[in-house]
Amino acid sequence: MTIEAINPATDEVIGRYEEHSPSDVNQIIQAADHTFQQWRRTEFAERASKMRQAAQILRSKARDYGELMAREMGKPVKDGIAEAQKCAWVCDYYADHAEKFLAPEFIETDASESFVSYQPLGVVLAVMPWNFPFWQVFRFAAPALMAGNTALLKHASNVPGCALAIERIFQDSGFPEHAFRTLLIGSHQVTAVIEHPLVRAVTLTGSTRAGQAVAQKAGEMLKKTVLELGGSDPYLVLADADLELAVATCVQSRLINSGQSCIAAKRFIVVESQLAAFTERFVARMSAVSMGDPLDEATEVGPQARRDLRDELHEQVAQSVAKGATCLLGGKIPDGAGAYYPPTVLTNVKPGMPAYEEELFGPVAAIIAVADEEEAIYVANDSVFGLGAAVFTRDIERGQRIATERLEAGACFVNTFVKSDPRLPFGGIKESGYGRELSHFGIKEFVNIKTVYVK
C-alpha cells in the first residue's frame, strides 16, 4: 500500500511512500530490541551528547522543518519554525537533567542498604498525531531515549515526511541506527505492533476514540500506556478580569496552530457583566486575523490539516447554529482549493450543542454566558474533558485558588494561556487521558521503578 502526503493548502499530492509490510515491521521491532540491549548500558554522558547534537540539528534546520510542516499539514511556517526550536529545547532539557532525574533514591529501612533504581523498559511505541508533528514526537522521544529505551514512531499518515525527517535527525545525531525508527504503517497495523512481545509500552497522543482502542489492546497485553487525548479547554473571564489581557490571550490561544491544538482555548466562559464588551472586542480581534498560504510569513491561520477534518468542524458549527447558537463571525467554507476554514465565533452556546459538548478542533470559538464565578466554575467542569483550563482575574490569590482547587484539568493557568513546557508535567484527566509527559514525571513513565533491598 502507498501512503500519500497531500498539501492541505492546494490539495496537491506532494509525496508517496510505500507502507512497511508486516514482515518489515517485525524486522524493525527486532532491530530496535537488539539496539536496546546495548543502548541501555550506555553512559548518560554519551546519551546526552547525542541528544544535544539533535538539538543543534533542529535549530540549524528549523526553517526547513517549518516549511515541511507547512506543506504536509498546513501549519503557518513561522509556527513550524518555533515548533522545531521548542523541540531543541526539550532535547537539551533532558540531556541536562535525565541523569539527575533517574539517579538512585536511597531510603532508610532496616536493610543495610535500600534504594529505588530507575531502569529502562525496552522498545516503546509512540502513536502520534499530525497537529504538532515534531513537538509531539520529541516530547516523548527525548526522555524515552535518555532513559535508555528505544523508540518506534507510528505517525499520522498525512505527515510521513515529518516522520522520516525525525528519524533522520536522530540518526544524524549519532544515535544507533535502530534507537529511533519510524514505522510507515496505517492504523490497521497498530494492534499487531502492540501485541508484539518485544514492544514493552505504548504512548499515544490523539483522539479519545483512538486512546480507548490503544488502551484496550495494551491493557489486554498488560503493557504500560500514557495517553494524551482531546480537550475542550475552558477559559473563565471573571467580573474583575483585565479585559484587554483576557481578549488578547483568548484569541491567541484559540488560534494556536490554526485552532488545531488539544490545549487551545475552546470554551470562553464569561460572566454577564463582561459579556458584551468581551464579545465585541473578541470578534474584532478574530476578524482581523490573516488567513492564507501557510508558507507566507504573514499568515496567522493556515488551512486545516485535511478536508475531511475541515468538513467535520463545519458540521459541528452548523449543528450548533441549528440548535440555537448565533454565529457572529465566519462559519462558512470558503470557495477555492485547500482545506481552509475561517476564524469563527459562536455565542448563545448552550448544553446539548456540539460547541458546548464536543471538542472543536479548528478556529471556532464558543462564548458561553454565566451569571457569576460559581456558575463559571460549574460550566468549566461540565465536560468529559480535563486537559487544560485558564482563569482571568485581577485577584491573583482568587485565581490561584480556583486553578488549584476548583478546576478539573491537568494544567490550570492564571491570566495567561495554557501551554506545555519541558520543566512542567503535561497531561489530563477524565477523557483527556492519563499519565504525564515532560518534567521528571515524564521520564519516569517508561522505566521500571525498581526496589533494591540489601540485607
Which tens digit of pLDDT belongs to each residue from 293-308? Answer: 999 999 999 999 999 9
**Sequence-ordered alpha helix ranges (H) in 147-187:** 160-172
Class of residue 131 by CB neighbours under 10 A (exposed 0-12, middle 13-18, buried 19+): buried
**Alpha carbons 194 and 211: distance in angstroms, whole number:** 13
In 213-281, DSSP assigns E strands to: 224-228, 233-237, 265-271
Spatial CB neighbours of 56, under 8 Å, sequence gap ≥ 6: 88
Cα 91 to chain centroid distance, Å, stands at: 16
Q: Which three cell numbers stand for residue 413?
A: 493557568
Helix or strand holding residue 346 (H, E)? strand 344-347
User: What mean pLDDT is predicted for residues 189-195?
Assistant: 98
Percent of the chain with pLDDT over 70: 100
Q: Where are the domains of the chain?
A: 2-229+432-454, 233-421
Percent of the residues in the chain that have a pLDDT greater than 90, as a whole number: 100
Q: Which CATH number fits domain 2-229+432-454: 3.40.605.10, 3.80.10.10, 3.40.190.10, 1.20.1250.20?
A: 3.40.605.10
pLDDT for res 222: 98
Residue 228 known to be catalytic: yes
| pLDDT digits 0-9 by tens, 341-392 | 999 999 999 999 999 999 999 999 999 999 999 999 999 999 999 999 999 9
Closest listed residue to residue 158, CA positions, set 47, 272, 72: 72
Domains 2-229+432-454 and 233-421 share a fold: no
User: Domain spanning 233-421: which CATH class is it, in words?
Assistant: alpha beta
275 and 281 Cβ atoms separated by less than 8 Å: no
pLDDT of residue 258: 98
What separation in angstroms does the CA of 218 have from each of 26, 140, 153, 426?
18, 18, 16, 21
Average pLDDT score, the chain: 98
CA distance 335 to 358: 26
Work out the pLDDT band at 150, boundaries 50, 70, 90. Answer: very high
Sign of the CA dihedral running 401, 402, 408, 412 = negative
> pLDDT-based confidence at 1, cuts 50/70/90?
confident
Q: Of residues 87, 162, 262, 412, which has the active-site annotation?
A: 262
CA-CA distance, 304 to 310, in Å (whole number)? 6
3-state secondary structure of 205: strand
pLDDT of residue 42: 98
**pLDDT confidence of residue 135:** 98
405-416 burial string, b = 16+ CB within 10 Å, else e? ebbbbbbbbbbe
Picking from 121, 41, 120, 108, the residue whose alpha carbon sits closest to that of residue 454 is: 108
Mean pLDDT calculated for residue range 309-328: 98
Query: Which distant-in-sequence residues (6+ apart) come within 8 Å of 408 by Cβ?
Result: 380, 381, 386, 389, 429, 430
In this prediction, residues 245-274 reach a mean pLDDT of 98
Task: Please identify which of the residues 72, 167, 228, 358 carries the catalytic annotation.
Answer: 228
Residue 453: all three cell numbers together: 533491598
- Could you give the CA distance from residue 378 to residue 370 in angstroms, rounded to a whole number? 10
How much is the pLDDT for 163?
Answer: 98
- What pTM was estimated for this model as a whole? 0.97
Query: 422, 91 in Cβ contact below 8 A?
Result: no
